[in-house]
A and B are shown apart, each in its own frame.
Chain A
Amino acid sequence: MKRIAKCAVVSLLAVLVGACSSTPSYPQPQGTEGQILVQLRGEAKEGVSGPKKREVRGEYSVTRESVEKGANFERVDYDEIEDVVVVVRRNGVEPSPPFNLNRKDDTGTLELDEDGFSRQQALSWLVTDKAGKTYASQTLKNGTEAAVTVFAFSDDDGFEVTIQPGKQATIEIGSAGIFEVFCDEIESAHCFLYVTGSDDAWIGSSDDSAFFNDLAPGDYTVTVYPPRLPEWSKRLTVAPGKRETVTAELTVNKLPKVSK
């Protein structure tokens, strides 16, 4: 009997530990500042099933891979949309320099191979250095066997860089905006680079949530930019010591339906 009780307690503890580890914990709002939690929910088109996958057992791991006929037929996995960008802007307040030089966010390197960029979207933050120069930087790596020219242009700013095979380059951009990045040599290479002056921007997968802490009370607009899907936006008010939680639906289901 004792053994059964011991087993039950151990199982209960295991369940509790498991639940705690899978649910991210966010600090509670403190004092006069507030928080925004943006939960992301990808939703496939009505009547369409998710990607068909099979388990592949390795020596030490189990992974899942697509069973579709080829790369072209690979389906969108709405449970795990990668490279979703979330930006929170305080209404009526434009971010202006100097921007935080000691920002610790690192969005990583954007790699290029024969199939295109390693990511569909990237995010860079503007910083202001000690000399007063404001810029955002992004590292690009050329994983192909030939030199490539990568370029982008937003409304009034852009960059262009030639990178030798196997080498990398860090580009600097002087203003905020959405840059559509292309490559001369690889027509299919296409990526969006979001450059922001706001501290409150996030990039990640739709199976995660974007959490913004220490926000001054006031009116905000949350905008979610999922790759290949319509933008999602919502205005909300942050109150002192409170957390606002919103769910952004990443789907084509809300587009105007046209059928002829």
Chain B
Amino acid sequence: MTNMTRKLLLLGGVLAFTVCVTAIVKAQFASRHDPVPTYSKAVDYKDGDWKWSESKTGTVKGSLTFSARRPQQPVVVYLVKLGADDKPGEQGLFDAPDDLSVSQKGASFEPSFSVLVRKQKVKFLNDEKSEISHNVYFLGDIEADLGIFEQGESRAHEFEKAGEVSVHCSIHKRMDGKFYVAPNPAFAVLESNESSFEIKNVPAGKYKLHTWQKQKRFKDFETTLEVTDGGTAEVTVEMKR
């Protein structure tokens, strides 16, 4: 066996070993990272961000009916994962989507409304053209004060808890906004011209489906449903008074 042959055999061995190790690592990675949930008009998640403990997933599909004139403002449909005792349990681990930037130019929040996911960070930027101070504070399910910040400064806040939050400035009379913080990424935002939704890649398990209305006009709807591996749970969301 010549030196050249020996070198080629060694190189082939190293290559084969590398391919095997890569395959094993990939398999390990795939078993720990579930598919990304997708839903209508919501935040885009990058592949691999969703780290729910279960890997089997299904779909929740539904339509909304209204007993009277439907709201002109969005309705949010969201899922809460239930524990073994049928009460809201751990919502799983997931990487939050990108930070949301909120401008304060002209003493108004832009965007003035957004649906967030728990753990998502919102950055408020005082981007006024002149020297005007702003403050940001939250009321509702989350109450906090981010302090006063001058032109060019910003403050960020990570929403740890789910719920409705109204956003205000304590200096300016009409500077208001609103957020809804969903407990996990399995939600859909329906605008006034939409009446159906589909939430894909939801980890298998038992859930409670809820609604939240930006401008409350009906009783909020809730129902329990089960997501099975590869299955589709269908639901009719009836908004009544």
Residues of A within 8 A of B (CB): 44-45, 47-48, 71-76, 149, 151-153, 156, 158, 160, 180, 182, 184, 187, 228-230, 252-253, 255-260
Least CB distance from A132 to B in Å reads 23
Bound complex: CA A149 to CA B71 (Å) = 11
> Would you mind naming 13 contact pairs between A and B with Cβ atoms under 8 Å apart?
A44-B170, A45-B148, A48-B133, A71-B174, A153-B216, A153-B219, A153-B241, A158-B217, A255-B137, A255-B143, A257-B147, A258-B144, A260-B158
Q: Which of B73, B157, B172 contacts A74 (CB 8 A)?
A: B172
Chain A proximity mask over B201-241: 1 for CB below 8 Å, otherwise 0: 00000000000000111110000000000000000000001
User: Is B114 positioned at the interface, with any CB of A under 8 Å from its CB?
Assistant: no
Chain A interface mostly helix, strand, loop or mixed? loop
User: Is B156 positioned at the interface, with any CB of A under 8 Å from its CB?
Assistant: yes
Least CB distance from A195 to B in Å reads 15
Query: Closest residue to A257 on the B side, CB-wise?
Result: B145
CB-defined contacts of B157 to chain A, threshold 8 Å: 258, 260
Known: A72-B174, A160-B217. A255 touches B144 (CB 8 A): yes
CB-defined contacts of B138 to chain A, threshold 8 Å: 255
Question: Is there contact, CB below 8 Å, between B144 and A256?
Answer: yes
User: Is B108 positioned at the interface, with any CB of A under 8 Å from its CB?
Assistant: yes
Known: A160-B69, A230-B143, A260-B157. A72 touches B170 (CB 8 A): no
CB-defined contacts of B171 to chain A, threshold 8 Å: 44-45, 48, 75-76
CB-defined contacts of B132 to chain A, threshold 8 Å: 73
How many chain B residues touch the partner (CB < 8 A)?
37
Q: Which residues in chain B, 143-170, are within 8 Å of chain A measured between CB atoms?
A: 143-148, 155-158, 168, 170
Bound complex: CA A230 to CA B142 (Å) = 11
User: Is B48 positioned at the interface, with any CB of A under 8 Å from its CB?
Assistant: no
User: Is B59 positioned at the interface, with any CB of A under 8 Å from its CB?
Assistant: no
Bound complex: CA A156 to CA B218 (Å) = 8
Query: Closest residue to B143 on the A side, CB-wise?
Result: A255
**In the complex, the 3 A-B pairs of residues with the closest C-beta atoms, listed nearest first:** A255-B145, A72-B107, A182-B215
Question: Is there contact, CB below 8 Å, between A258 and B145?
Answer: yes
Bound complex: CA A3 to CA B108 (Å) = 61
Bound complex: CA A259 to CA B68 (Å) = 44
Bound complex: CA A136 to CA B137 (Å) = 33
CB-defined contacts of A257 to chain B, threshold 8 Å: 144-145, 147
Query: Closest residue to A184 on the B side, CB-wise?
Result: B72
Q: Which of B135, B168, B170, B172 has the most CB of A within 10 A?
A: B170
Query: Closest residue to A115 on the B side, CB-wise?
Result: B174
Chain A proximity mask over B171-202: 1 for CB below 8 Å, otherwise 0: 11111100000000000000000000000000
9 other contacts beyond A73-B107, A153-B219, A255-B143, with CB at 8 A cut-off? A72-B106, A72-B175, A74-B174, A156-B219, A184-B69, A228-B168, A256-B144, A258-B144, A259-B155
Least CB distance from B110 to A in Å reads 12
Known: A72-B106, A72-B175, A74-B174. A158 touches B241 (CB 8 A): yes
Question: Is there contact, CB below 8 Å, between A72 and B172?
Answer: yes
Least CB distance from A73 to B in Å reads 5
CB-defined contacts of A149 to chain B, threshold 8 Å: 69
